Amino acid sequence: MAGEPSSAPRITHSLVTALRSVRDLSTLDEESLLDIVGTSSNLFWPAGAAVFGKGEPSDALYIVLSGRVRIFDPDGGQGEVDRVGPGESFGELSLLLQAAHSLSAQAIEDAEIMVVPRGAFEELLSENRELADHFRKRLEERRPVRGDVSG
């Protein structure tokens, strides 16, 4: 009947649905996730392509939507540090430290990656204390372990 609320499930943006599975963003509401979608770009890296290199400026948070990315030391000192797959993010620690990337990232499978620019990431942190605390905690946990950051 007209004017009655629909019992049909609410339709949401497919990228918001994908972001709900990202552990680092699990505390965000739909509006915040839509903001991320609106300020980000989805880019494709073929297997073997560099996402970023050691020493390059840190300018984004990277969220893997599909495929896999390896985080590694190209100088061989630490070798491969991590592998990142769908629902995982990387690059945030260099952003938080406002430092150049201390490691390199390379697609090891064809990968679709959501790239959230520095400004949008910083705005998200300033608007969501719980998320900011989460990333600060990750930073503190990783610093003493490696003395370095992944990404």
Tens digits of pLDDT across the chain (151 residues): 455 555 545 556 788 888 888 888 888 888 888 888 889 999 999 999 999 999 999 999 999 999 999 999 998 777 889 999 999 999 988 998 889 999 999 999 999 999 999 999 999 889 888 888 888 888 887 664 444 444 5
Indicate the helix (H) or strand (E) that contains 100. Answer: none
Tell me which CATH homologous superfamily contains domain 14-146.
Jelly Rolls (2.60.120.10)
Q: Tell me if 27 sits within 8 A of 128, measured CB to CB.
A: yes
What is the structure's pLDDT at 151? Answer: 52
Which DSSP category does 54 fall into? T
Here the tokens at position 111 are 């990968």
Q: Tell me if 54 sits within 8 A of 74, measured CB to CB.
A: yes
Q: Which residues contact 70 (CB under 8 A, 6 or more apart)?
A: 80, 82, 83, 84, 105, 106, 108
Strands 104-107 and 69-72: antiparallel
Distance CA 69, CA 109 (A): 7
Distance CA 60, CA 2 (A): 46
Distance CA 100, CA 13 (A): 33
Measured CA to CA in angstroms, residue 68 lies from 52, 83, 84, 85, 86 at distances of: 14, 7, 6, 5, 7
